[in-house]
Amino acid sequence: MCGIVGYVGSKAAAPLLIAGLKRLEYRGYDSAGVSLLNGGAQVQTRKAKGKIAMLEEAVGGSPVTGTTGIAHTRWATHGPPNECNAHPHHDCTDEIAVVHNGIIENYSTLRKRLIEKGHTFRSETDTEVLAHLIEEAFDGNLEDAVMDALRLVEGTYGIAVLSTRDPGKIVAARKGSPLLIGVGEGEYFVASDVAAILQYTREVIYLDDGEVAVVTTDGYSVCDLKARPVGKGISRIEWDLDQIEKGGYDHFMLKEIFEQPQTIENTMRGRLVVEEGYAKLGGLNITREELQNIDNMIITACGTSWHSGLIGELMIEEYARIRVETEYASEFRYRNPIVDPNTLCVVISQSGETADTLAAMREAKERGARTLGLVNVVGSTIAREDDGGVYLLAGPEIGVASTKAFTSQVVALALLMLTFARRRDMSASRGREIAQAMVKLPEQIQEILEDAPTIEIIAEQFKDATNFLYLGRGYNFPVALEGALKLKEISYIHAEGYPAAEMKHGPIALIDENMPVVFIAPHDSVFEKIVSNIQEVKARGGRSIVITSRDEPALEGLIDFEIRIPETLEMLYPILTVIPLQLLSYYIAAKRGLDVDQPRNLAKSVTVE
């Protein structure tokens, strides 16, 4: 997804900006660019298609100087990824440069109007209209021109703008796309993501929708689109830079898989009250009475977060006895859902910025539901707009394919379930049993991770497969979906997740010796049923990889590969069974020589519809 970095200070801006862009590489992008002011009449811009290294080459070949600059990584939405469509974009006279995240929805009307007025466009992007609108409105002061331009714009944006005609200044504005200001000593930054500037400062100001910031070497100011000043507090970032780096692993994804004993511990810490079998969730912002009145829940999310939502639904229905519907955010936002004041809408998002999820949350709110965000990124839009929330506390997740956020989401949902169930009819002893099992999970994940070499051997066997089937039942059906998604995302192997018993209604036709079938079959209440499905696969020559939790005579001679996991409660198995699946897809993708952390066509945070 697109990323923005800007710098105003006394240092050479280009190396700082490029270093900042590199920190944003994990977001996924297809081209990059940088613009600087050097006291001349024109903005100096360099762009390149592909990786930041290409941009560095372009800057090396034709250096840019100056202490004020903006930079961008682009993930194409309008116009293909190429140098011309890369940001920054200029006005007609190259005096203004704009970087933009988001989509200008009325760009074609604006573009037509600007062309009629004599403006010349050089790219196919929606962003370029902003540069020309600012040019039209410019009357000596950049922020006024930016505000005038933005009043004409429909859609979403996080922008940073500079101009040779009002030098030493960056104007930034936000609507629907994250943006923050970094406060240094005698220097200021603008960024779409804190990772870009963390090596320079930990003090940040998060902009809210409808706000415009002006940043110069003397300081910053924030106002609304009508130029009325807005007071903003400074937040301190506690994440360390080395938390954002690979920490000795070949890929971020592998590092993040191995972090899970720690990250789920962080999600539980200070919240799980084991002896009393309940959870203390400080951010719910809900009275006891309101909590009691909730009689239905909607869980909404996208991708991996949606899979955790499906597990949450099973837990909450089983133990809290509240009706739950889990829905793709992209579907929820465009239908006419039944929501009432006793509906709790649980919104799950690692990034807290996914456009569909955010829109679904706003829709639920609009219809009177109380919203609760399960979000990892602190200060993200969903986290700021929800009525209450539970931070996942999993630390930055950089690999595009989500791993540690997923397990933290399931843990957070278990905590939420305990909060609700214990206020209803769950006994303290049942609550305690669940809490005690949760406390063991970090160690149990560690045990599975120590078996990574076995999973790597299995990956070697199957790395050239072209199709995979993942089957699970009950709590492990969503894990089958997640296992298949992980494989698709990073190895580009076609994979499908199915409820195991549904196999006979279609997918069984696909089974032959070339179709590996992964069974998620821990020893739970549906284990016996799954054994029959394994037999059906065996009878058709299929090869099976079975994740199971104890020695089982029924499996003897039936399976090709076994991955053993420790035993836990039925509702907690997904937190364990997903780990081998994450490792399996990781090793298969790595063995295929693929870009595990930035798979093709995918983005970490999808801030467009």
Closest by CA to 346, choosing from 416, 435, 282, is 416
The binder of ligand G6P chosen from 305, 343, 598, 607 (CB under 6 A): 305
Q: Report how far residue 257's alpha carbon sits from residue 249's, in angstroms, rounded to the nearest whole number.
A: 10
Residue 192 interacts with ligand G6P (CB under 6 A)?
A: no
Contact residues for 534 (Cβ-Cβ < 8 A; gap 6+): 519, 521, 544, 546, 555, 558, 559
Beta strand 323-328 pairing with 296-301:
parallel
Residue 163 interacts with ligand G6P (CB under 6 A)?
A: no
Query: Quick one: residue 263, left, alpha or beta (phi over 0 = left, psi -120 to 50 = alpha)?
Result: alpha
Q: Report how far residue 97's alpha carbon sits from residue 134's, in angstroms, rounded to the nearest whole number.
A: 10
Asked whether the beta carbons of 110 and 128 are under 8 A apart, the reply is no
84 in active site: no
Residue of minimal CB distance from ligand G6P?
303
What's the DSSP call for residue 318?
I
Q: Which two tokens stand for residue 278?
A: 């309940």
Task: Please identify, using beta-carbon distances, which residue of 59 and 378 lies nearer to ligand G6P.
Answer: 378
Asked whether the beta carbons of 9 and 20 are under 8 A apart, the reply is no
Q: Report how far residue 486's alpha carbon sits from residue 496's, in angstroms, rounded to the nearest whole number.
A: 10
Rounded to a whole number of angstroms, the minimum distance from the CB of residue 184 to ligand G6P is 28
DSSP β-bridge partners for residue 157: 175, 176
463 in active site: no
Q: Which two tokens stand for residue 21?
A: 């862009």
Rounded to a whole number of angstroms, the minimum distance from the CB of residue 582 to ligand G6P is 12
Residue 253 interacts with ligand G6P (CB under 6 A)?
A: no
Q: Report how far residue 323's alpha carbon sits from residue 60's, in angstroms, rounded to the nearest whole number.
A: 60
Residue 403 interacts with ligand G6P (CB under 6 A)?
A: no
Task: Please identify, using beta-carbon distances, which residue of 75 and 498 lies nearer to ligand G6P.
Answer: 75
Task: Please identify, using beta-carbon distances, which residue of 162 and 603 lies nearer to ligand G6P.
Answer: 603
- CB-based burial label for 112 (10 Å; 0-12, 13-18, 19+): exposed
Task: Considering only the stretches 61-69, 299-307, 319-327, 548-556, report the one whose residues sit in contact with ligand G6P under the rule CB under 6 A.
Answer: 299-307
Task: Please identify, using beta-carbon distances, which residue of 31 and 305 lies nearer to ligand G6P.
Answer: 305
Task: Please identify, using beta-carbon distances, which residue of 351 and 548 lies nearer to ligand G6P.
Answer: 351
Contact residues for 111 (Cβ-Cβ < 8 A; gap 6+): 121, 128, 129
In single-letter form, the type of residue at position 337 comes to P
Q: Report how far residue 278's alpha carbon sits from residue 291's, in angstroms, rounded to the nearest whole number.
A: 15
The binder of ligand G6P chosen from 73, 381, 444, 605 (CB under 6 A): 605
Task: Considering only the stretches 84-92, 303-311, 461-469, 550-558, report the one whose residues sit in contact with ligand G6P under the rule CB under 6 A.
Answer: 303-311
Which of 22, 47, 488, 604 is catalytic? The answer is 604
Asked whether the beta carbons of 271 and 415 are under 8 A apart, the reply is yes
The binder of ligand G6P chosen from 304, 330, 544, 577 (CB under 6 A): 304
Mask: binding to ligand G6P, 306-345, rule CB under 6 A, as x and -?
Answer: ----------------------------------------
Cβ contacts of 225-233, under 8 Å, gap ≥ 24:
225/147, 225/150, 225/151, 225/173, 226/147, 227/143, 227/144, 227/147, 232/205, 232/206, 232/207, 233/205
Rounded to a whole number of angstroms, the minimum distance from the CB of residue 166 to ligand G6P is 36
Task: Considering only the stretches 88-96, 301-309, 446-454, 529-537, report the one whose residues sit in contact with ligand G6P under the rule CB under 6 A.
Answer: 301-309
Residue 606 interacts with ligand G6P (CB under 6 A)?
A: yes
Residue 303 interacts with ligand G6P (CB under 6 A)?
A: yes
Residue 400 interacts with ligand G6P (CB under 6 A)?
A: yes
**What's the full length of the chain, in residues?**
609
> Tokens 């030493």 — which residue?
168
The binder of ligand G6P chosen from 71, 302, 412, 445 (CB under 6 A): 302
SS3 503: helix
Rounded to a whole number of angstroms, the minimum distance from the CB of residue 377 to ligand G6P is 8
Residue 396 interacts with ligand G6P (CB under 6 A)?
A: no
Task: Considering only the stretches 126-134, 184-192, 302-310, 448-456, report the one whose residues sit in contact with ligand G6P under the rule CB under 6 A.
Answer: 302-310
Rounded to a whole number of angstroms, the minimum distance from the CB of residue 28 to ligand G6P is 8
Q: Report how far residue 252's alpha carbon sits from residue 250's, in angstroms, rounded to the nearest whole number.
A: 7
Q: 346-365: which residues touch ligand G6P (CB under 6 A)?
A: 349-351, 354, 357
Task: Please identify, using beta-carbon distances, which residue of 163 and 409 lies nearer to ligand G6P.
Answer: 409
Residue 487 interacts with ligand G6P (CB under 6 A)?
A: no
Q: Which two tokens stand for residue 519?
A: 């069974």
Task: Considering only the stretches 55-63, 174-182, 394-402, 516-524, report the one whose residues sit in contact with ligand G6P under the rule CB under 6 A.
Answer: 394-402
Residue 402 interacts with ligand G6P (CB under 6 A)?
A: yes
Rounded to a whole number of angstroms, the minimum distance from the CB of residue 296 to ligand G6P is 23
Rounded to a whole number of angstroms, the minimum distance from the CB of residue 400 to ligand G6P is 5
Rounded to a whole number of angstroms, the minimum distance from the CB of residue 102 to ligand G6P is 16
Rounded to a whole number of angstroms, the minimum distance from the CB of residue 16 to ligand G6P is 27
Which of 2, 22, 47, 302 is catalytic? The answer is 2
Query: Quick one: residue 211, left, alpha or beta (phi over 0 = left, psi -120 to 50 = alpha)?
Result: beta
Mask: binding to ligand G6P, 85-114, rule CB under 6 A, as x and -?
Answer: ------------------------------
In single-letter form, the type of residue at position 326 comes to T
Which positions lie near ligand G6P, rule CB under 6 A? 302-305, 349-351, 354, 357, 400-402, 602, 604-606
Catalytic sites, residue numbers: 2, 604
